[in-house]
């Protein structure tokens, strides 16, 4: 069930943030092999221009990553769609998902718009405070925490899905242990110049099956906190 967002007039958009421009983005995503209509509808509905600086709002519906400050980015819409779609593969509908790296709050909002209970962790306090304001303005109940994303949020696990929105040379064991049997973990893995978007599915016996979705470029997954 899709969550009902509270959309103010500025969320509706005009000109380069209008519904027509958003629809063109959806067509580009379809052309690039995004097939899940639930995911496409969430991306069509969520006002991405509210998750970037006002000076970049006219570029919000380009299929590209954009800077959000602190050396971080809002991910390319195709990557957001691909990671989200992976959670729904094989007819699954995850009820509870952990996101590692809140950033602008856009990915968490896409998940919430799909009716998922979202837990999100961010190490940069300034980004998290801004994301929380966006969640509140949209009327979304997203649970968030200022903490080191590499340790996840174990007290609320296990999770049906885990999305990691920053790259690491290898998978973080602490995160895979918080994945429920039958759950899906999606994460960029590899050196900074050779990352791959991996999907891991946990079988009932706890073993992990891995698939490789695509080459990607993400900011690094760092430890520690920044206020």
Catalytic position from the list 18, 75, 144, 192 = 75
Asked whether the bond before 186 is cis by omega within 30 degrees of 0, the reply is no
Is residue 137 among the annotated active site residues? Answer: no
Q: Quote the DSSP letter at residue 60.
A: T
Residue 186: strand pairing partners: 163, 199
In contact, 61 and 17? CB cutoff 8 Å: yes
φ and ψ at residue 19, rounded to 5 degrees: -60, -35
Question: What's the farthest any 2 CA atoms get from each other in the chain?
Answer: 52
> Comparing C-alpha atoms, which of 64, 137, 139, 146 is closest to residue 101?
146
Look up tokens 């430890």; give the residue: 223
- Strand residue runs (E) in the chain: 66-69, 72-74, 96-100, 117-122, 143-146, 159-164, 179-189, 195-202, 208-216
Residue 31: strand pairing partners: none
Look up tokens 């968030």; give the residue: 144
Active site amino acids: 75
């Amino acid at each position: 069930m899709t969550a009902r967002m509270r959309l103010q007039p500025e969320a509706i958009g005009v000109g380069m943030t209008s519904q027509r421009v958003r629809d063109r983005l959806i067509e580009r995503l379809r052309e690039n092999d995004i097939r899940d209509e639930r995911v496409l509808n969430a991306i069509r509905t969520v006002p991405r221009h509210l998750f970037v600086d006002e000076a970049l709002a006219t570029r919000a519906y380009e299929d590209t990553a954009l800077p959000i400050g602190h050396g971080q980015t809002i991910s390319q819409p195709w990557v957001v769609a691909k990671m989200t779609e992976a959670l729904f593969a094989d007819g699954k509908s995850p009820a509870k998902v952990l996101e590692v790296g809140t950033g602008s709050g856009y990915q968490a909002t896409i998940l919430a718009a799909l009716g998922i209970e979202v837990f999100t962790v961010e190490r940069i306090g300034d980004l998290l405070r801004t994301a929380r304001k966006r969640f509140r303005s949209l009327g979304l109940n997203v649970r968030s925490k200022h903490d080191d994303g590499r340790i996840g949020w174990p007290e609320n696990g296990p999770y049906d899905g885990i999305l990691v929105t920053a790259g690491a040379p290898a998978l973080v064991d602490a995160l895979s242990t918080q994945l429920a049997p039958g759950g899906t973990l999606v994460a960029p893995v590899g050196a900074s110049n050779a990352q791959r978007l991996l999907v891991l599915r946990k079988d009932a016996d706890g073993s992990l099956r891995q698939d490789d979705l695509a080459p990607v470029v993400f900011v690094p997954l760092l430890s520690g906190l920044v206020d």
